[in-house]
Structure formats: C-alpha cells, structure tokens
Structure 1
Amino acid sequence: MQKLGNFKLPQFFNYPPYFTLQPVRDTRDKQVQLWKDLILDYCRTQKLFVID
C-alpha cells in the first residue's frame, strides 16, 4: 500500500482504470464516488478545510 505522508492510499489506487474516466455510466458513477471519498478522507486526516 502506498502512503502520502501519513495518509495510506487505498488498494484500488494502483488499479490503472481508476485514472481513466469509464464509459459505462454505472461504473463511472462508482469511480467518481471513490475519488470523492478519497479526497474527503485525505482532507479529514490532514485537517484541510479549503482546497485550492
């Protein structure tokens, strides 16, 4: 598992399709939700309240 400072990245972060917008609507919706969750979790652990 990779780390970003003291933040551990999820296992799916190393899965290449995670970085490619998926053409199937349901898959894309899940992908976008995973990105949102990852960003919010990172901000929570780092106590970030504003993202530039």
Structure 2
Amino acid sequence: MGSIWGAFLGSMVLGISQAVGFRLDPGWGILAGHLVFLLVLATRPQGLISKR
C-alpha cells in the first residue's frame, strides 16, 4: 500500500472489469474481477504504479 494512485487505478480496473462481466452474464461479474486481479498479480507483482 505504497501508492494511493496505484490503489485508485487498481480499484478502477477491478470495477470496470466487474461491470463488463455483469453486463455479459450476471454470474461472470465476480469471475471477471478475480481473473483481472490474478492477471495483474501475475504480470506486475510489484504493483501497477511501483516506486523504483
């Protein structure tokens, strides 16, 4: 929890993916959120906006 902007960006990405999932099928909303969460963790484990 080092970046407020990273948390904000992550929450927006998660919310949009869940909204798209619920639009396609009501059961896919939660699944879409989990898949995006796991995809981000797999590709960027240091966070979306990391300080180097």
Higher relative contact order (CA 8 A, sep 6+): 2
- Could you state the TM-score of these two structures normalised by the residue count of structure 1? 0.45
Which structure features the higher share of strand residues?
A: 1
- Could you state the TM-score of these two structures normalised by the residue count of structure 2? 0.45
